[in-house]
Amino acid sequence: MKRLHIQGLGVSEGIRIAKAHIYKPVQAVIGEGVRSEDCIPDNPSAVEAELHKLRKAKTDCVEQLGKLIKKAKEAVGEEQAGILAGQRKLLDDPAFYPKMEARVREQLEPAPRAVAEIVRQVVSMLEGINNNYMKERAADIRDIGSRLLACLSPGQTGGLAEIEGPVILVADDLAPSDTVQLDPALVIGFITRTGGATSHTAILARSLGIAAVVGAGDGVGGIEDGDTLVLDGAAGLCIVRPEEPEAERYRLRMRQELERNRSLEEYAARPAVTADGTRVELAANIGSAAEAENAVRQGADGVGLFRTEFLFMNAQAMPGEEEQFRAYREAARSMGGRSVIIRTMDIGGDKELPYLQLPKEMNPFLGYRAIRIGLDRQELLRTQLRAVLRASAFGTVKVMFPMISGLQEWRQAKAILTEVQAELSQDGVSYDKNMEVGIMVEIPSTAVLAEMFASEVDFFSIGTNDLVQYTVAADRMNEHVAHLYDYFHPAVLHLIHRVIEASHAVGKWTGMCGSMAGDPLAAPLLLGLGLDEWSLEASRLGGMKERLASLDRQECRELAKRILCLDTPQAVRQALEEFLNTQGPSR
Question: Is 151 tagged catalytic?
Answer: no
Residue 376 assigned as binding residue: no
Q: What phi and psi values does residue 157 have, to the nearest 5 degrees?
A: -95, -20
Let me know if residue 552 belongs to a domain.
no
111: CATH: 1.10.274.10
Lowest mean pLDDT among 22-36, 155-169, 174-188, 561-575: 22-36
Q: What phi and psi values does residue 399 have, to the nearest 5 degrees?
A: -130, 150
Same domain? 297 vs 395: yes
CA atoms of 204 and 445, how far apart (whole Å) = 37
Contact 179, 23 (CB under 8 A): no
Query: How much is the pLDDT for 584?
Result: 56
For the segment 511-529, the average pLDDT, to the nearest whole number, is: 94
Query: How much is the pLDDT for 179?
Result: 74
161 pLDDT higher than 60: no
Residue 307 assigned as binding residue: yes
For the segment 347-367, the average pLDDT, to the nearest whole number, is: 75
Same domain? 245 vs 287: no
The model's confidence at residue 121, banded by pLDDT at 50, 70 and 90, is confident
> Which residue, of 263, 296, 315, is where some domain finishes?
263
Lowest mean pLDDT among 71-85, 99-113, 301-315, 480-494: 71-85
Which is catalytic among the residues 200, 489, 497, 556? 200
Residue 266 assigned as binding residue: no
Let me know if residue 250 belongs to a domain.
yes
Let me know if residue 241 belongs to a domain.
yes
Same domain? 386 vs 290: yes
> Which residue, of 366, 400, 435, is where some domain finishes?
435
CA atoms of 409 and 193, how far apart (whole Å) = 44
Let me know if residue 46 belongs to a domain.
yes
Same domain? 96 vs 184: no
Residue 92 assigned as binding residue: no
Same domain? 222 vs 319: no
Q: Of residues 453 and 84, which shows the higher confidence score?
A: 453
Lowest mean pLDDT among 155-169, 350-364, 525-539, 541-555: 155-169
- Assign 4 to helix, strand or coil: strand
Domain enclosing residue 387, as ranges: 277-435
Q: Is the peptide bond before 166 cis (omega within 30 degrees of 0)?
A: yes
Query: How much is the pLDDT for 530?
Result: 98
Let me know if residue 32 belongs to a domain.
no
Residue 465 assigned as binding residue: yes
Same domain? 83 vs 217: no
| DSSP for 70-139, written as a single string | HHHHHHH-HHHHHHHHHHHHHTT-TTSHHHHHHHHHHH---HHHHHHHHHHHHHHHHHTSS-HHHHHHHH
The model's confidence at residue 75, banded by pLDDT at 50, 70 and 90, is low
Nearest to 544 by CA among 304, 338, 330: 304
> Which residue, of 152, 179, 201, is where some domain finishes?
152
157 pLDDT higher than 90: no
Let me know if residue 453 belongs to a domain.
no
Query: How much is the pLDDT for 30?
Result: 38
DSSP label at residue 530: T
Averaged pLDDT score across all residues of the chain: 86
Contact 165, 225 (CB under 8 A): no
243: CATH: 3.50.30.10
Question: Is 497 tagged catalytic?
Answer: no
Query: How much is the pLDDT for 155?
Result: 55
Nearest to 511 by CA among 340, 265, 330: 340
Residue 343 assigned as binding residue: yes
For the segment 92-103, the average pLDDT, to the nearest whole number, is: 86
Q: What phi and psi values does residue 34 have, to the nearest 5 degrees?
A: -130, 110
pTM for the structure as a whole? 0.69
Query: How much is the pLDDT for 81?
Result: 67
Query: How much is the pLDDT for 557?
Result: 98
| DSSP for 413-472, written as a single string | HHHHHHHHHHHHHHHT----TT--EEEEE-SHHHHHTHHHHHTT-SEEEE-HHHHHHHHH
Query: How much is the pLDDT for 272?
Result: 95
> What digits encode the pLDDT tens for the residues 546-575?
999 999 999 999 999 999 999 999 999 999
CA atoms of 172 and 404, how far apart (whole Å) = 42
- Could you give the count of Cα atoms lying within 13 Å of 348 in the half-sphere of its Cβ? 22
CA atoms of 186 and 159, how far apart (whole Å) = 13
Same domain? 247 vs 315: no
Strand partners, 461: 440, 511
For the chain, what is the domain count? Answer: 3
Same domain? 327 vs 203: no
The model's confidence at residue 424, banded by pLDDT at 50, 70 and 90, is very high
Same domain? 146 vs 179: no
Same domain? 330 vs 350: yes
Contact 188, 13 (CB under 8 A): no
Same domain? 201 vs 326: no
Q: Of residues 239 and 200, which shows the higher confidence score?
A: 239
Let me know if residue 19 belongs to a domain.
no
For the segment 409-423, the average pLDDT, to the nearest whole number, is: 98
The model's confidence at residue 31, banded by pLDDT at 50, 70 and 90, is very low
292: CATH: 3.20.20.60
Same domain? 297 vs 393: yes
Let me know if residue 119 belongs to a domain.
yes
